[in-house]
Amino acid sequence: MNIWNSFKEVIFVFLQQIEGVVGDWGLAIIVLTVLVRLALMPLTIKQTRSMYELQRIQPKIKELQEKYKDDKEKLQEETLKFYQENKVNPFGGCLPMLLQMPLLIALYQVLGGTAAHPGILMKYLTESGNVGRFFFFIPDIAKTPAMVFQQNGIVAALPYIILVVLFGLSVWLPQFLMPGEKQQKMIGAYMAVVMLWFGWSAPAGVLLYWDVSSIWGVAQQQIMMTSLKRQHAGDEIVQEQAVKPKGKKSKNV
C-alpha cells in the first residue's frame, strides 16, 4: 500500500512540476496526458495491431464455427491451429491493456475523487486555497459538472457539459470506427450513455485527462489501421504475383 501511495505521490509531484512551468493546472494535465500517451505508445501500438489482426481473420473464424458447430472439440482444435498458422494471438490485445491499468487507476486517484474522498490534486487545491483553472474555459477543474450546474446554472456549466459529451463520444467513437458487427457497436453506444452519467459526477480534471487521452488514442488508432490495411494489401499483391504462373516467351522463327 505504501508503494502504491508513493507511486501516486510521484505522479502528483511530476504534475506539480509541469504546472510550475506552464502556469495552468488544466494545461499541466494535458501535458501529463501527452507524456503518458508517449510512454504507453509501444503497448498501444501492439494492442491496435492485435485488434486489427483479429478483425482481419474474423470471417475465417466464422467459417470454422459454422463448419464445426456440432463438434466443439474439433472447433477448438481447428481454431487454435488457424491462430498458430496466421501467427495471431487472440489475447494479444489484453496484456497491453492490463499493463496500462495500474497507471490509469493511479492517475484517476491523483486527479479525481469525491468531496468525501478527494484525490491528491483535489485535496491539495482545497488545503492550499488554490483554484485549479484551465485558462478561462474551466474555472475549477476540481468541480464536477453536476456541482457547477447545481450552484451556478446551465450557462456556467456549459464548458463542463462539453467535457462530459466528449467523454461519452470517446467511448463510442473507437467502437464505431472499428470494423465489427452491429451488436458490438450497439454495446459501445450503451457504454457511451453510461459514461455520460459517470462523467456528470466526475471532476473536470479527470474528464480533461480522459478526453485528451481519447482524442490521441482515436487518432493513433486510425493512422495505424490505415497503415496496416495498406501493408496487408501490399503483401497480398506480392503473394499473388509470386504464385502467378509466368508467361511463356515466344520463340524466334
Q: What is the 3-state secondary structure (H, E, C) of 197-226?
A: HHHHCCCHHHHHHHHHHHHHHHHHHHHHHH
Note the pLDDT tens digit of each residue in 80-114. 888 887 777 777 666 666 767 787 788 878 887 66
| Mean pLDDT value of segment 167-193 | 73
> Looking at the domain assignment, is residue 231 inside a domain?
no
> Looking at the domain assignment, is residue 236 inside a domain?
no
pTM score of the predicted model: 0.77
Asked if 174 and 157 touch (Cβ cutoff 8 Å), the reply is no
Q: What pLDDT score does 253 carry?
A: 43
Other CB atoms within 10 Å distance of the CB of residue 229: 13
Fill in the DSSP letter of residue 134: B
CA atoms 176, 179, 182, 187: torsion sign: negative
| Mean pLDDT value of segment 194-218 | 86
> Looking at the domain assignment, is residue 113 inside a domain?
yes
Asked if 110 and 8 touch (Cβ cutoff 8 Å), the reply is yes
> Looking at the domain assignment, is residue 8 inside a domain?
yes
Q: Which domain holds residue 124?
A: 2-226
Asked if 100 and 40 touch (Cβ cutoff 8 Å), the reply is yes
For the ranges 23-37, 69-83, 149-163, 236-250, the lowest mean pLDDT is seen at 236-250
> Looking at the domain assignment, is residue 245 inside a domain?
no
**Distance of alpha carbon 171 from alpha carbon 198, whole angstroms:** 12
| Mean pLDDT value of segment 28-42 | 90
**Distance of alpha carbon 242 from alpha carbon 240, whole angstroms:** 5
> Looking at the domain assignment, is residue 243 inside a domain?
no
**Distance of alpha carbon 98 from alpha carbon 103, whole angstroms:** 10
Q: What pLDDT score does 81 carry?
A: 83
Number of domains in the chain: 1
Note the pLDDT tens digit of each residue in 117-154. 778 888 888 788 777 888 888 988 888 898 899 988 99
Residues 98, 100, 102, 107: what is their CA dihedral angle, to the nearest 10 degrees? -150
Residues with Cβ within 8 Å of 78's Cβ and at least 6 positions away in sequence, in order, are 64, 67, 68
**Distance of alpha carbon 171 from alpha carbon 215, whole angstroms:** 11
> Looking at the domain assignment, is residue 160 inside a domain?
yes
Q: What pLDDT score does 75 carry?
A: 82
Own/partner contacts of 130-138, CB < 8 Å, gap of 24 or more, are 132/25, 132/26, 132/205, 133/24, 133/25, 133/26, 134/24, 134/25, 134/26, 134/27, 134/29, 134/204, 134/208, 135/24, 135/26, 135/27, 137/26, 138/26, 138/163, 138/204, 138/208
Residues 213, 214, 219, 220: what is their CA dihedral angle, to the nearest 10 degrees? 60
Note the pLDDT tens digit of each residue in 218-248. 888 888 888 888 877 765 555 555 555 555 5
Asked if 205 and 25 touch (Cβ cutoff 8 Å), the reply is yes
> Looking at the domain assignment, is residue 241 inside a domain?
no
